[in-house]
Amino acid sequence: MDKKTAALKIVGALYPLITLGAVFAAWAIAAYAVDLPIVLPSVGDTFKGLGQLLGTADFYVALGGTLLRTLIGFVTALAMALALAVPAAFFKPLEKLLSPLVVIARAVPTMSVILLCLLWVSNRILPVVVSVFIVFPVLYTTVLSAIKGVDEGLKQMSAVYKVPRTRIAGRLYLPQIMPALLTGVQSTLGLMVKLVIAGEVMSNTARSIGGSMNLAQQYLETDMVLAYTLAAVVLSALLEGAAALIKRFALRWEHGGDK
């Protein structure tokens, strides 16, 4: 790596830090101008609250509960998307049957889903149900589009040379749909965290970040609400970062295999 490339990477890494600095500066100025901690606590008070949370066992229980619900919801939504999108890509009538349902699922407001789920399911599983309902159509569309976007010429060539279906699936379809699928996974993980926490807040789910935020809001502890919000942001960033690493590892063939 030459000096110019290294310098460009360093400069590129500074941009997120500059953005974060601007956000915290604006926050500090706004908190000073409002001068009412119950409305907008200072940056220092919020991080002090976060430090207090990090020293309690209840925080890690809540964090673990939210993480578990996020992973369960995501795996469920992804499994449903794969189970329906794969056959729909090869069987047109099935795609047409599912199309209206997917459009409806994408169009229904998130709050409508949460309010209805408050009537239909228990508070314990509501965040998972809500997140699956919202994320499933996104993943379904991603998988369906990726499969339908596979090169037609390669498919025809495989048919002409009578390549076994297992080989077609492993050597043709999988490499071509994997980039889009992993990008979809990375982009929806952060959304999944937000949906799960929104469901937890509305249902006051026990042992959860959302439930803890709801309790803090009831006691007008705005600094703790923001502290839990920061924890949620970090959780989302860590999940998306893990997905990015998996994507980079899985797609290393694009950069020359194992070289």
Task: Decide: helix, strand or coil at residue 210.
Answer: helix
What is the structure's pLDDT at 258?
47
Same structural domain, 5 and 83: no
Report yes or no: 32 and 43 within 8 Å, Cβ to Cβ. Answer: no
- 175-214: string of b/e by CB count within 10 Å (b at 16+)? eebbeebbbbbbebbbbbbbbbbbbbbbbbbebbbbbbbb
Over residues 66-76, the pLDDT tens digits come to: 999 999 999 99
What is the structure's pLDDT at 229?
94
Same structural domain, 214 and 109: yes
Same structural domain, 154 and 51: yes
Same structural domain, 127 and 90: yes
Q: What is the CATH number of the domain that holds 190?
A: 1.10.3720.10
| 63 Cβ contact list (under 8 Å, min separation 6) | 209, 231, 235
Same structural domain, 23 and 150: no
Same structural domain, 29 and 46: no
Same structural domain, 119 and 79: yes
Tokens of 79: 């499994």
Structural domain of residue 8, as residue ranges? 1-35
The count of structural domains within the chain is 2
Task: Decide: helix, strand or coil at residue 2.
Answer: coil
What is the structure's pLDDT at 16?
81
What is the structure's pLDDT at 95?
92
Which stretches in the chain have pLDDT values below 70?
Answer: 1-8, 11-13, 154, 159-161, 253-259
Same structural domain, 145 and 29: no
Same structural domain, 20 and 62: no
Containing H/E element for 239? Answer: helix 222-250
Same structural domain, 51 and 131: yes
| Global pTM value | 0.87
Same structural domain, 47 and 7: no
Candidates 181, 207, 191, 173; CA nearest to 239 is 191
Same structural domain, 23 and 58: no
